[in-house]
Amino acid sequence: MISRIYNSMFILGILIALIACDNKETVKQEEPGPSGVATNLYVKYNTTTGEITSYRSYTNTSRGITEKEIYYNASGTDGVWFTSDDVISQARIYTLDANQNVIKDVIYSNAGTDLEWFTADDSVVTYWVYEYDSNNLKTRHIVYSGFGDDAAWGTADDVIATYIAFEYDSAKREIKNISYSGAGTNTSWFDSDDVVSNYGVNEYDSNGNRTLLAYFSNAGTDTVWFTDDDLTALHQTSEYGEFGITRLTSRNGYGADMIWQTADDVIATYNNTEYTITGNPSRLITYGPGSDSTFFTTDDNETRYTSYVYNNSDQFIATAAYNSAGTDATWFTIDDQGTSAVRHEYDADGNLTHSFVYTGAGTDGLWLTDDDILANYTVKTYAQGFVSEKYYYNGAGTDGVWQTADDVLYDKYVYEICNGC
């Protein structure tokens, strides 16, 4: 729970970098079914009429890994959704190896000249190939953008757009990923003269905690990659305590010495995380340098924070994001001004059933009170310990009252439970 809540508060650029850096997340599937779920549907609705506009069906392995996604954008000649003549707009097929690693991911845009889907002449948009080592760690991620001179997809002369190579330490932790955008002067891919476009580096402490996350996007003044003057798009160091990350520092320059992680690095900001006595994060606080313009001195000032609330069972029940100390000019008091809040509800089995997102503090001006302004909410139902349905509502309907029958349904997921998986 700690990691999930903490990561949810990262800015968008950090999220993108973390996804790229996490080997398990390189193959990003929209909504893979959990283990024990055989198939699932994603259905999208017209928020004015309430009618279905499109849906996607997913077929999963017994471990919840998606093997096939089919996108439908019309109900077919019978005018009825979820029947055999529904119109397919796109398909995505995943090929798995014996260890259920995704080794190929192909997107198809139409049924080809025979007008029959899932035959050899379906039109490919793009595809990805993934390679693994004997430990099932991804070593290469290749993106293909077109076919070659033979005008056939899936052959040796297909056009490579880019690829990422991954490196690991003896503990199987990713320590580097390098993205390549060209085959180099010899026009041959996967050799030493391939053109680097960017790379990421991870470092870890003796407990396996990641202490450095850095992404370098420019080779620097010497124009040579993997040297001290490489320029970064993201450079974060993390410090840890008993329960997890206690400080995350973001840097946006290496200072006059042109060497990273030295005293003159240019700090952009830092976050401190506070924890409850049971180990749950209670606040994530972002700091600025204060009037002396120097970080890590006594006048560093809070610029925003996020608070987390738990019930007596240590379930995460609410969070609120604040960006002003309010009229009393004192942070962490009741009049702090915020930007958003979320509440969660659980059933008797501890399953998360409702999540409510608020974008205003209501007439009392206080967050996490009954008159907060609701923007949307999600409802989950369960069967056999798995999520069976998930509904997302983004409007109160014509009666203007939330959680009534006419709430505006934007989309939903429906899962088929696989008995015996």
Q: Average pLDDT in the 243-257 region?
A: 91
Residue 168 pLDDT: 98
For the cut 70, the answer to whether the pLDDT of residue 38 exceeds it is no
Residue 421 pLDDT: 47
Give which of 141, 120, 117, 118 is closest to 129, Cα–Cα: 141
Q: Average pLDDT in the 128-142 region?
A: 98
For the cut 90, the answer to whether the pLDDT of residue 261 exceeds it is no
The fraction of the chain above a pLDDT of 90, given in percent, is 79
- The least confident of 232-236, 255-259, 307-311, 316-320 is 255-259
Q: Average pLDDT in the 178-204 region?
A: 97
Residue 23 pLDDT: 34
Give which of 231, 229, 264, 234 is closest to 249, Cα–Cα: 234
Residue 61 pLDDT: 82
CB 83 within 8 A of CB 72: no
For the cut 50, the answer to whether the pLDDT of residue 24 exceeds it is no
Cα 15 to Cα 22: distance, rounded to the nearest angstrom: 11
For the cut 70, the answer to whether the pLDDT of residue 372 exceeds it is yes
Residues 166, 172, 178: CA angle, nearest 5 degrees: 15
Q: What pTM value is reported for the model?
A: 0.84
Residue 13 pLDDT: 34
Cα 144 to Cα 162: distance, rounded to the nearest angstrom: 7
Q: Average pLDDT in the 10-32 region?
A: 34
Cα 130 to Cα 219: distance, rounded to the nearest angstrom: 27
For the cut 90, the answer to whether the pLDDT of residue 262 exceeds it is no
- The least confident of 37-41, 249-253, 412-416 is 37-41
Residue-wise pLDDT tens digits, 78-109 = 999 999 999 999 999 999 999 999 999 999 99
Q: Average pLDDT in the 16-35 region?
A: 37
Residue with tokens 């003896």: 170
For the cut 60, the answer to whether the pLDDT of residue 56 exceeds it is yes
Mean model confidence pLDDT for the chain: 89
CB 344 within 8 A of CB 299: no
DSSP letters for 340-352: EEEEEEE-TTS-E
For the cut 50, the answer to whether the pLDDT of residue 30 exceeds it is no
